[in-house]
Amino acid sequence: MKLSKLMLGLSLALGVMATASAQVTMRNSISVGQNSHQGEAIDTLSKEVEKRTNGRIKIQNFYSGSLGGERESIESVQLGTQELATTSTGPVPNFVPESRILDVPFLFRDKAHARAVLDGPIGQELLTKFDSKGFKALAWGENGVRHMTNSKRAVNEPGDLKGLKMRTMENPVHVAAYKSLGIVTTPMAFPEVFTALQQGTVDGQENPLSVIMASNFDQVQKHLTLTGHVYSPVVILMNKGSFDKLSAADKQIFLDSAKEAVKANRARVDKDDANGVAELRKKGMNIIENVDKSKFLATMGPAMAEFEKQFGKANLDRIRNYK
């Protein structure tokens, strides 16, 4: 009898240990705060994965660049020292060059067009380009449409940008485009931007309303111009090895959870876009809403001609004309 009880006790103990060892904790990160459109994405992803795996897989989220800037987080995912990262496409071309095409200015008509492209064959084809680089790209999310801010002067037309020292993402397409506008470009990791603006190291930056609001840039930037010059995607990345080790069912759980994360992320961008101008104006920003975008596009002419050589006019038109 004693032996039977001992065996039962050992079995229960081993069962508890097996359950504990079966639980997996992964890490995900963003460079902006939790109360943001990207925060909505990673919080939704972790909630859905934990719910759908009955707590077997948990995702611990890190915000505000606490694990490093976007480029560092992408490197960590590629190396496998971090399982997940959710990032704008700013530094992504340094790892997956095919993604550069998405950063061409004035490529998309509006958010609805961009979402249709990313959710359709073109976007899904681009996601597969990450596989050979050590990533599993789970889904395209959204940063939003980028606008320009600065602390020096109101920007009504391209000539007003000349000589402004502006932080740009570590992205060769953005740098080339903004140089053609006469901007003095300063590539910089996102966690450094607020301090650089505060200290006057740079005069301005460019980001969607969601990022401007979540980062409190109104505290260090006086002028905002709704240039809408670039649509900025977000991509939810996972280490390829970590994804490949999952069962077929768990792989599907991650893909389905990523879709839910994108829904929450885009809904927050829409909300911020609807309320952002009024809120930022209330906080004291001088906002130029009506901009002749054709003037900006014309000034970027030399850069745009170079992009057509780089990417092929047919490839750009395939995106521009997608319905």
Q: How far apart are CA 36 and CA 271, in angstroms?
A: 11
Determine the pLDDT at residue 164. Answer: 98
Residue range 101-123: average pLDDT?
97
Sign of torsion over alpha carbons 118, 137, 51, 248: positive
Coil/strand/helix, residue 31: coil
Inform me whether the pLDDT recorded for 94 exceeds 70. Answer: yes
By C-alpha distance, which of 170, 166, 139 is closest to 151?
A: 166
pLDDT at 16: 43
| Residue 2 reports pLDDT greater than 80 | no
Average pLDDT over the chain, rounded to an integer = 93
For 44-54, how does the pLDDT look when each residue is reduced to its tens digit (9 = 90+)? 999 999 999 99
70-80: pLDDT as tens digits: 999 999 999 99
Question: Does residue 321 surpass a pLDDT of 50?
Answer: yes
Stretch 88-98: mean pLDDT = 94
Check: pTM over 0.85? Answer yes or no.
Answer: yes
- Does 145 score more than 80 pLDDT? yes
Cα–Cα dist 308/311, whole Å: 5
Dist. CA 234–CA 239, nearest whole Å: 16
Average pLDDT over residues 98-113: 96
Helix, strand, coil: what percent of the chain each, to 5?
A: 55, 20, 25
The pLDDT of residue 39 is above 60: yes
pLDDT digits (tens, 9 = 90+) for 151-206: 999 999 999 999 999 999 989 999 999 999 999 999 999 999 999 999 999 999 99
Other CB atoms within 10 Å distance of the CB of residue 101: 20
